[in-house]
Amino acid sequence: MAIEEDIESSGSRAVQSSQAHGRQYRQKLEVYNEVLRRIQESNYEEADLPGFDDQLWLHFNRLPARYALDVNVERAEDVLTHKRLLQLAEDAGSQPALEVRLVQVYPVGNGNCIDSVHSDSSSERRRTKFF
């Protein structure tokens, strides 16, 4: 009986794994299609190169499914940067591959400080101000 239960549970795990893989594949494909569409609409020169869509799919396919889930499709150009950096890393040998860009961060809220209450090990309460 224990052997039958093991076979049944391992079989159901295989089905669940297969279903999860299929769902992840579909999600990856949806994100790929949306990123491809946005890149083509934005007239990036790379998008006009022969085989670009295949190269972009290879980029998505070589990375885990969570990459596609984390991609912000509104910033499709970030995928081009990721793709370019991975190519540089492969070609550069032992040299690091990096790209720097200016990022502007705006303060959240109305400019007032935020109060937060923390308790320390002696259970006393302290007020800490974050600016």
pLDDT in the model for residue 91: 76
What value does the mean pLDDT of the chain take?
A: 76
Read off the pLDDT band of 49 (50, 70, 90): very high
Domain boundaries, the chain: 2-95
Q: Where does the pLDDT of residue 122 fall: very low under 50, low under 70, confident under 90, or very high at 90 and above?
A: very low
Give the span between the Cα atoms of 131 and 128, in whole angstroms: 10
Q: What is the pTM of this model?
A: 0.60
Cβ atoms of 65 and 28 closer than 8 Å:
yes
